[in-house]
Amino acid sequence: QVQLVESGGGLVQAGGSLRLSCAASGRTFSNYAMGWFRQAPGKEREFVATISWSGVNTAYVDSVKGRFIISRDNAKNTVYLQMNSLKPEDTAVYYCAAKSVLGLDNTGGVSYSAYRYWGQGAQVTVSS
C-alpha cells in the first residue's frame, strides 16, 4: 500500500502563494501517477492537476492553468503543488492521490474514482 500525507496549507490573502507537499511511503512510489484534487464546503471533489510517474507529462483544470504548477521528486517520494495568484474561489481542502500506471508514463486522469490512494487533506483558505 501507499500512504500519503499532505502539508503546507494555511491562510493567505488573494494574490499570494502557497506550496503544498505530499509525502509518500510504501512500495515503488515512482510507478504511480499523482494527482491533486480539492473540495470546498458543500461542493463535490474537483480535479486540480496530475503528473506522470516520470514528471514529464502534466495536466491541469482550466481554472488553475497558468497559476498552479505540479511537480514531483521521486528520490524524496514527494509531489508538490505550487499555487500562485491565489483567489478566494481556490479555498478548499486539497488532497493528493496516487494511481498505479503499470509501467506507462501517463497522467492519472481527471476522475477521482480512478485513484487508489488518498491523503488526509490540507486546508487552503484564501481571503479577499
Q: What is the pLDDT along the chain (128 residues), one digit of tens a residue?
A: 889 999 999 999 999 999 999 999 876 677 899 999 999 999 999 999 999 999 999 999 999 999 999 999 988 999 999 999 999 999 999 999 999 887 788 999 999 999 999 999 999 999 99
CA neighbor of 72 nearest in space, from 118, 40, 112, 33:
33
Element (H, E) at 114: none
Spatial separation of the C-alpha atoms in residues 102 and 120, rounded to whole Å: 25
CA neighbor of 20 nearest in space, from 76, 93, 75:
93
